[in-house]
Structure 1
């Protein structure tokens, strides 16, 4: 028993001595602990969404804030009042659609709002698009999607009115089907 113990102790000391005298040199297979985040690839006119602020405002990878044209979602925070009904749902819908994804944007008449945010219509590639299917949209029009499914209301602010009729039709449809805020936020 003593011989086995001494042999085991000796083997441990030799292994410790050898490992402590070797300087660590990463092998070709060793990967660094921290790797850089891959830069998304996209076409000219497209940009990466870094963060979703609320149902109708985002921050791009270049730091610019964008406010969606033609719609309004319930407010998450306002110094004057509490969080509005369905605000968190609108945020989550917007986030699931576009956060950390590449979008295409379209300008109407105005460049920015009074807060310095870019005013844009926003589009994202439709992940279920199959070129062979007729009638299927290649892109999702985010502004309209949020209205159509009851996460936002149509809100027309001239001169940016290019798609206001589309938004009003989508809002009418969402109201009639009692989708989203039209079902959950009825005044009592």
Structure 2
């Protein structure tokens, strides 16, 4: 695949809110965002996991999309990392955040659209879209890691590993999200059932 030419690919399958499979068999993981997980193998469904998948299906299933790449082209699972655009020019990654079905996930060095996605996320939070009313209930002390851009609640075992110069203190999950931090998987799982 070229990173410069406008090549179009038909979406064959929508796996979840941030992963699709193209007709050529290529699995695409949306860059810059993370959607709630669906029930899969041993993983429990996170709140709004199925809704995120349905929204993604409405946006892209059986439609043609264009891919835009950042610095890294593959993740640790062999999925292609991309920003996804519809034929009408709409930016799918942003739409998922705008509708409240995904949150910003910084993954350096892939930050081409980070500012735009964070601005969109702040608006979705303020408008209580999708997942945000659930996360707004989560008050307390949270530690962010300025290097990884992940945050942890104080009970999370990984919060103890944050070095002083990288530790950022938040008094709610929403504060962390509005500053571009994403929850660690362990913390998401703990808050999933609240």
Aligned with 1:140: secondary structure?
coil
CA distance in 1, matches of 2:124, 2:98: 5
Which 5+ residue runs of structure 2 have no aligned equivalent?
Answer: 138-193
The aligned residue for residue 56 of structure 2 is 94
The aligned residue for residue 92 of structure 2 is 142
The aligned residue for residue 85 of structure 2 is 123
Aligned residues: 134
> 1:150–1:171: 8 Å Cα contact kept in structure 2?
yes
> 2:99–2:130: 8 Å Cα contact kept in structure 1?
yes
The aligned residue for residue 176 of structure 1 is 126
Alignment partner of 2:72 out of 100, 110, 117: 110
Which 5+ residue runs of structure 1 have no aligned equivalent?
Answer: 1-42, 127-138
CA distance in 2, matches of 1:106, 1:177: 29
Structure number with bigger Rg: 1
CA deviation string 1:121-164 (max 9, x = no partner) = 000023xxxxxxxxxxxx11000010011010000000100001
Matches within 5 A, 1:155-170: 155-170=105-120
Root-mean-square deviation (Å): 1.7
> 1:86–1:185: 8 Å Cα contact kept in structure 2?
no
The aligned residue for residue 13 of structure 2 is 51
Aligned with 1:143: secondary structure?
helix
CA deviation string 1:38-70 (max 9, x = no partner) = xxxxx9511111100000000001101000000
Question: Using a 3 Å threshold, how does the CA distance of structure 1 residues 163 and 89 change in structure 2: closer, same or farther?
Answer: same
Q: Could you say which structure has the higher strand fraction? A: 2
Q: TM-score, normalised by structure 2?
A: 0.65
Alignment partner of 2:31 out of 62, 69, 72: 69
Question: Using a 3 Å threshold, how does the CA distance of structure 1 residues 76 and 66 change in structure 2: closer, same or farther?
Answer: same
CA distance in 1, matches of 2:10, 2:119: 29
Question: Using a 3 Å threshold, how does the CA distance of structure 1 residues 125 and 184 change in structure 2: closer, same or farther?
Answer: farther
> 1:70–1:163: 8 Å Cα contact kept in structure 2?
yes
